[in-house]
Amino acid sequence: MSKIYLIGGVGAGKSTVLSILKTEYGAEIILADDEARRLMEPGDAGYDAVVRTFGTEYLSADGTIDRQKLAARIFRDPEAKKTIDQLIHPMTWKVIDEKMSASGADLVITEAAVFDADARKRYFDEVWYVRTDPEIRIKRLMESRGYSEEKCRAMIENQFTDEEYARQADRVIDNSGTEEDVRAQLRTIMEERTKR
């Protein structure tokens, strides 16, 4: 089994890459954000940790975590983001590790917007970075999510730069062109991996 850590900023088009890997190469896909979200459901460990740390002011009327309110806090308060990351990330990686271990697939891809050096060392064979020109990322986000240009730029500035992402990666997949371009790059990567 090959365990790949797929990283890339918001709007980079990681979902296109994942879709090709799943449908054409039979990869099992694990989305780190989805696993983290599940951990923050009522009754789960992440939920308890968030409520214990931030209090009940971040709960909705139905008792679930008000994600928008919490996201707004994290976005403007780096310390709060750091605290959430320290609470949720270790739990998330543990769940991901369990899922990868239980998988029967030859190729398991875990997608995350953030890079975690410790997780990379402990759980993965390679890191692949999906890189896309910032202006294309902004255009995609405005079209797909209806965000303002200002919000898109702020989100991108809040993440790693291209150079920081690329420095962590074993392979870079450029998604600034067409889906066929991406498909060709993945074909080359998979052929290289088969020859090893």
Domain termination site, one of 64, 89, 104? 104
Number of structural domains in the chain: 2
Asked if 126 and 188 sit in the same domain, the reply is yes
Q: Give 114's pLDDT tier (boundaries 50, 70, 90).
A: confident
Strand 28-31 relative to strand 2-7, pairing = unpaired
pLDDT digits (tens, 9 = 90+) for 77-94: 989 999 999 999 999 999
104 Cβ neighbours under 8 A, 6+ residues apart: none
Q: What residues contact residue 149 under an 8 Å CB cut-off, 6+ apart? A: 138, 142
Spatial separation of the C-alpha atoms in residues 163 and 27, rounded to whole Å? 27
Same domain membership, residue 115 and residue 91? no
Binding-site residues from annotation: 11-16
Positions at the binding site for ATP: 11-16
Residues above pLDDT 70, as percent of the chain: 99
The verdict on 178 and 92 lying in the same domain is no
Do both 46 and 90 map to the same domain?
yes
Which 3 state secondary structure label does DSSP give 146?
A: coil
* pLDDT digit string, tens, across residues 137-154: 999 999 999 999 999 998
Based on the domain organization, do 114 and 176 belong to the same domain? yes
Name the residue range of residue 139's domain. 1-27+105-196
The CA-atom distances, in angstroms, between 108 and each of 30, 44, 63, 123, 139 are 7, 25, 34, 11, 30
Supply the pLDDT for residue 195.
Answer: 77
Q: At residue 1, does pLDDT exceed 90?
A: no
What's the pTM? 0.89
- Identify the pLDDT of residue 124: 97
